[in-house]
């Protein structure tokens, strides 16, 4: 059967269901036709009504014939939804004197306000008003229904009723005149019927809630939400909420009805979708449920914004449409041979039948009678009972499927055990053979591993020797310059000192001679002029300063070398990073020369916990690469610069070394930290420098980032914690 024929069948069945509903509800006498003891009264005039559009009609204007009343061409007072006040008029004739006290009851608790005027013969009685928001303990009759006392009547008295009513829901007014005792009996029967309904629904709620707590199936969760709130909505519609839940705040009853109906509708949609696995069978139809979720949410929005009439109409229409929609997809799912869909279809059909009756009654299409008034209650009760059976059947189905799956799993396990036993024999033989092969392979691997370790040791030593050679050349050059400065000043200093010593010897001889003091002074001045004593002092001072400067420079280089080498590099120490960078720059001073500008942007750093010798090795390798890069780009001309920055950020040390050298390509950046990868010519680099840098930073729980553009320069950014948390 294709989809087109299925949909056609569903459409035909829906029309048949609605048709049968109309026939059924019209075969029962309307309850809202006025009921009175016919031995006491006769209906003198049929019902007439008038819509008070501007809310300005008074009883006096009605008595003065200023307004025309329309004849109500139906046996019950049902004016559907009206946003304005309505006047109802009818007349009874008393056949005989009535001894017992009579009351008029409107068996609809949802009318907002009812004002009743009596005209007995030609006498007007004072009006009596009953407002739905009046607390129960302040009403003359402690009941949710409006109940009015009637005056005492004699035979042949004529009593006219003028009833003005307002309703947030539909305007249907079931009237009943009876003695106070008879009225109490009838209201008690109504209460008993509602109590039975609430008891059934409460039992279904508690039973399924217990099952949900036990099995944790979300189908039960959606179901108990639906049962709870549909029951709460029915309690509100029947006025039971005014009697037992909110007797002091009856004005909350409309909000209770709307909110409960909305949540019940959403719960019903969610339950139907998950219970029938609609997302699996018909995902498009499952997405269509979003429209109904939106419709129910809009009901709440309209109501809270003050548009209660629109909210109630949407609620009724949405209820019918979601019912038919659920009926449609439940039929489609049942065609998939999905067993739970059959139970759901039966339960939902009963509920749809009752819902259609209830909505048609609300719109005035169906009569207002016992069946239409209680249809939704008993329809929901029957549906809840059948859906409980459906859920139980689904659990049983799952249990059977689980048992079958367990049997299949047990059989598979036994079969696997047999296969394993057979395979074990084969495997033992193969394991023995492979063991021999593995022993040979392990011997060869051990030999290869030893050779690799030896090669690795040689490579590391080669890198160390290359770095040592680089350091030795730089240090030798750096120390040689100040030492040469010292040695070149020694000879002229010695010559000048000899001249001074000779001058001192001659001055001593003159001082021991017997000549006058003035003559001695004259001879000494002549000697000083002969050796140019003033120039000699100046030259000696200059030579001494040169020697002093050379010695100081040599001491600085030795100090820098000592700081750089750090013999305790295998121990964690608190180190001055800025000082370590400076010592590295001293070592590299020969390579830097006078053509490269070193810019230092040092931050105020605390002592950093690290391996100082290894960190200095990081500086040496990165700075050496930076020096090489700027020299390659600025061989003949240009401004070569290396910028070194240090700072603190979030308890981490940030060190950045940036150059304006030749930069690197994307391919080079991807391979930068691979061992033996180098862009330098053969003989100028081993390719291990940055690999060693990467491992050192990793050992410090840090990170290293490289930013580089070809011909624009490169930046290495290193980040390590100020305090190492090493395991």
For residue range 382-428, what is the model confidence (pLDDT) as tens digits?
666 666 666 666 666 666 766 777 777 777 777 777 787 777 878 77
In this predicted model, what pLDDT tens digit does every residue of 210-231 receive, in sequence order? 878 877 878 778 878 888 998 8
* Domain CATH for 88: 2.60.40.2380
* E strand or H helix at 122: none
Domain boundary among 527, 543, 563: 563
pLDDT at res. 293: 92
Exposed e or buried b for every residue in 141-170, given b needs 16+ CB within 10 A? bebbbbbbebeebeeebebbbbbbbbbbbb
- The phi, psi pair for 575, rounded to 5°, reads -125, 150
Q: Is the pLDDT of residue 132 over 90?
A: no
Average pLDDT, the chain: 77
Same domain, residue pair 679 and 578: yes
User: Cα dist. 289→65, 212, 292, 296, 302 in Å?
Assistant: 54, 24, 5, 11, 20
* E strand or H helix at 71: strand 70-71
**Is residue 238 within 8 Å of residue 201, measured between CB atoms?**
no
Q: Is the pLDDT of residue 22 over 70?
A: no
Q: Which of 15-19, 63-67, 543-547, 694-698 has the weakest average pLDDT?
A: 15-19
**Is residue 194 within 8 Å of residue 242, measured between CB atoms?**
no
* E strand or H helix at 568: none
Q: Is the residue at 130 inside a domain?
A: yes
Q: Is the pLDDT of residue 621 over 80?
A: yes
pTM, entire model: 0.49
pLDDT at res. 568: 45
Mean pLDDT of 470-478: 60
- DSSP character string of 377-402: HHHHHHHHHHHHHHHHHHHHHHHHHH
CA torsion 607→609→610→611, rounded to 10°? 90
Between CA 495 and CA 493 the distance in angstroms is: 5
Mean pLDDT of 329-353: 74
Same domain, residue pair 357 and 412: no
What is the dihedral sign for C-alpha 474, 478, 484, 487? negative
- DSSP character string of 601-613: E------EEE-HH
Q: Is the pLDDT of residue 489 over 90?
A: no
- Look at residues 394, 401, 384 and name the one whose alpha carbon lies nearest to residue 208: 384
Of the ranges 427-431, 519-523, 647-651, the best mean pLDDT one: 647-651
Domain boundary among 519, 546, 563: 563
Same domain, residue pair 634 and 701: yes
Give me the percent of the chain exceeding a pLDDT of 70: 75
**Is residue 308 within 8 Å of residue 277, measured between CB atoms?**
no
Of the ranges 45-59, 147-161, 390-404, 500-514, the best mean pLDDT one: 147-161
Task: Count the Cβ atoms, other than its own, within 10 Å of residue 388.
Answer: 20
* E strand or H helix at 91: strand 85-94
In this predicted model, what pLDDT tens digit does every residue of 220-261 receive, in sequence order? 788 788 889 988 988 888 888 888 888 888 888 888 989 999
- The phi, psi pair for 685, rounded to 5°, reads -160, 145
Q: Is the pLDDT of residue 144 over 90?
A: no
> What single-letter DSSP state applies at residue 35?
B
Q: Is the residue at 441 inside a domain?
A: yes
Between CA 238 and CA 141 the distance in angstroms is: 17
Q: Is the pLDDT of residue 281 over 60?
A: yes
Exposed e or buried b for every residue in 585-596, given b needs 16+ CB within 10 A? bbbbbbbbeeeb
Same domain, residue pair 221 and 239: yes
More confident residue, 657 or 217: 657
314 phi-psi bin (left φ>0, alpha ψ -120 to 50, beta other) = alpha
Q: How confident is the model at residue 6 (pLDDT cuts 50, 70, 90)?
A: very low
Give me the percent of the chain exceeding a pLDDT of 90: 8
Same domain, residue pair 467 and 515: yes
Q: Which of 177-191, 209-223, 385-399, 698-712 has the weakest average pLDDT?
A: 385-399
**Is residue 104 within 8 Å of residue 130, measured between CB atoms?**
no
Structure tokens at 448: 């290869």
Same domain, residue pair 74 and 40: yes
Same domain, residue pair 558 and 425: yes
Q: Is the residue at 484 inside a domain?
A: yes
Same domain, residue pair 246 and 256: yes
Q: What domain range is 131 assigned to?
A: 31-187
**Which residues make beta-bridge pairs with 397?**
none
Q: Is the residue at 22 inside a domain?
A: no
Mean pLDDT of 328-340: 79
Same domain, residue pair 200 and 330: yes
Task: Count the Cβ atoms, other than its own, within 10 Å of residue 499.
Answer: 16
Between CA 268 and CA 319 the distance in angstroms is: 10
How far apart, in Å, do the first and last CA atoms of the chain sit? 71
Between CA 361 and CA 722 the distance in angstroms is: 80
Q: Which of 412-421, 482-491, 619-628 has the weakest average pLDDT?
A: 482-491
Same domain, residue pair 463 and 580: no
Q: Is the residue at 709 inside a domain?
A: yes
In this predicted model, what pLDDT tens digit does every residue of 351-364 receive, in sequence order? 667 766 766 665 55
* Domain CATH for 701: 3.30.565.10
Helices (H), 276-369: 278-281, 283-304, 308-334, 339-362
> What single-letter DSSP state applies at residue 681?
P
Same domain, residue pair 70 and 168: yes
Between CA 541 and CA 375 the distance in angstroms is: 123
**Is residue 75 within 8 Å of residue 43, measured between CB atoms?**
no
Helices (H), 335-369: 339-362
Same domain, residue pair 287 and 320: yes
pLDDT at res. 460: 56
Q: Is the residue at 259 inside a domain?
A: yes
Q: Is the pLDDT of residue 263 over 90?
A: yes
Q: Is the residue at 727 inside a domain?
A: no
Label the pairing between strands 596-601 and 640-649.
parallel
Helices (H), 646-688: 666-671
Mean pLDDT of 416-443: 80
Mean pLDDT of 471-493: 67
Apex CA 627: angle with CA 621 and CA 629, to 5°? Answer: 100
Domain total of the chain: 4
**Is residue 123 within 8 Å of residue 165, measured between CB atoms?**
no
Of the ranges 256-270, 414-428, 480-494, the best mean pLDDT one: 256-270
pLDDT at res. 562: 59
Domain boundary among 161, 187, 213: 187
Q: Is the residue at 337 inside a domain?
A: yes
**Is residue 108 within 8 Å of residue 172, measured between CB atoms?**
yes
């Amino acid at each position: 059967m294709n989809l087109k024929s299925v949909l056609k069948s569903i459409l035909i069945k829906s029309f048949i269901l609605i048709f049968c509903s109309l026939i059924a509800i019209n075969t029962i006498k309307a309850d809202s036709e006025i009921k009175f003891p016919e031995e006491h009264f006769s209906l003198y005039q049929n019902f007439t009504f008038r819509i008070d559009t501007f809310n300005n009609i008074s009883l006096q204007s009605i008595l003065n014939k200023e307004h025309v009343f329309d004849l109500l061409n139906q046996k019950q007072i049902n004016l559907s939804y009206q946003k304005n006040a309505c006047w109802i008029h009818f007349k009874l004739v008393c056949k005989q004197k009535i001894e017992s006290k009579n009351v008029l009851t409107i068996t609809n608790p949802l009318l907002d306000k009812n004002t009743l005027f009596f005209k007995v013969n030609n006498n007007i009685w004072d009006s009596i008003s009953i407002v739905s928001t009046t607390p129960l303990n302040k009403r003359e009759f402690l009941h949710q229904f409006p109940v009015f006392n009637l005056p005492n009547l004699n035979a042949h008295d004529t009593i006219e009723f003028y009833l003005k009513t307002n309703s947030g829901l539909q305007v249907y007014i079931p009237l009943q005149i009876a003695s106070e005792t008879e009225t109490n009996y009838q209201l008690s029967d109504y209460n008993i019927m509602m109590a039975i309904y609430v008891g059934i629904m409460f039992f279904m709620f508690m039973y399924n809630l217990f099952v949900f707590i036990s099995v944790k199936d979300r189908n039960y969760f959606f179901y108990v939400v639906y049962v709870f709130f549909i029951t709460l909505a029915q309690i509100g519609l029947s006025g039971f909420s005014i009697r037992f839940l909110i007797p002091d705040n009856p004005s909350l009853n409309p909000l209770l009805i709307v909110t409960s109906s909305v949540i019940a509708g959403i719960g019903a949609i969610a339950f139907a979708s998950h219970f029938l696995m609609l997302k699996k069978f018909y995902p498009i139809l499952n997405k269509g449920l979003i429209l109904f979720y939106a419709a129910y949410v809009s009901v709440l929005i309209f109501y809270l914004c003050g548009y209660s009439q629109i909210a109630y109409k949407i609620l009724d229409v949405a209820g019918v449409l979601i019912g038919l929609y659920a009926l449609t997809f439940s039929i489609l799912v049942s065609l998939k041979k999905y067993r739970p869909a059959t139970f759901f279809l039966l339960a939902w059909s009963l509920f749809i039948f009752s819902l259609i009756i209830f909505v048609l009654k609300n719109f005035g299409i169906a009569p207002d009678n016992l069946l239409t008034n209680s249809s939704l209650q008993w329809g929901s009760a029957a549906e809840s009972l059948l859906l409980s059976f459906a859920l139980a059947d689904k659990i049983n189905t799952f249990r059977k499927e689980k048992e079958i799956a367990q049997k299949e799993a047990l059989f598979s396990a036994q079969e696997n055990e047999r296969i394993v036993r057979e395979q074990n024999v084969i495997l033992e033989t193969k394991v023995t053979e492979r063991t021999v092969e593995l022993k040979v392979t392990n011997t060869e691997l051990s030999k290869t591993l030893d050779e690799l370790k030896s090669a690795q040791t040689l490579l590391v030593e080669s890198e160390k020797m290359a770095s040592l050679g680089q350091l030795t050349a730089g240090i030798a050059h750096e120390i040689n310059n100040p030492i040469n400065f010292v040695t070149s000043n020694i000879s002229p200093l010695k010559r000048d000192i000899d001249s001074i010593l000779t001058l001192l010897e001659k001055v001593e001889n003159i001082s021991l001679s017997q000549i006058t003091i003035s003559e001695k002074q004259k001879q000494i001045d002549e000697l000083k002029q002969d050796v140019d004593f003033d120039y000699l002092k100046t030259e000696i001072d200059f030579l001494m300063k040169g020697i002093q400067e050379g010695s100081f420079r040599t001491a600085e280089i030795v100090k820098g070398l000592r700081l750089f080498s750090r013999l305790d590099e295998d121990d964690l120490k608190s180190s001055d990073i800025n000082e370590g960078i400076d010592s590295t720059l001293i070592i590299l001073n020969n390579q830097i020369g006078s053509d490269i500008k070193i810019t230092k942007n040092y931050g105020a750093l605390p002592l950093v916990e690290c391996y100082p010798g290894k960190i200095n090795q990081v500086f040496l390798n990165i700075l050496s690469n930076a020096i090489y890069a700027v020299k390659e780009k600025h061989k003949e001309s240009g401004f070569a610069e290396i910028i070194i920055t240090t700072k603190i950020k979030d308890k981490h040390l940030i060190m950045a070394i940036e150059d304006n050298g030749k930069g690197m390509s994307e391919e080079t950046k991807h391979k930068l930290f691979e061992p033996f990868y180098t862009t330098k010519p053969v003989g100028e680099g081993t390719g291990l420098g940055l690999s060693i840098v990467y491992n050192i930073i990793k050992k410090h729980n840090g990170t290293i980032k490289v930013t580089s553009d070809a011909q624009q320069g490169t930046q290495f950014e290193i980040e390590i914690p100020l305090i190492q948390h090493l395991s």
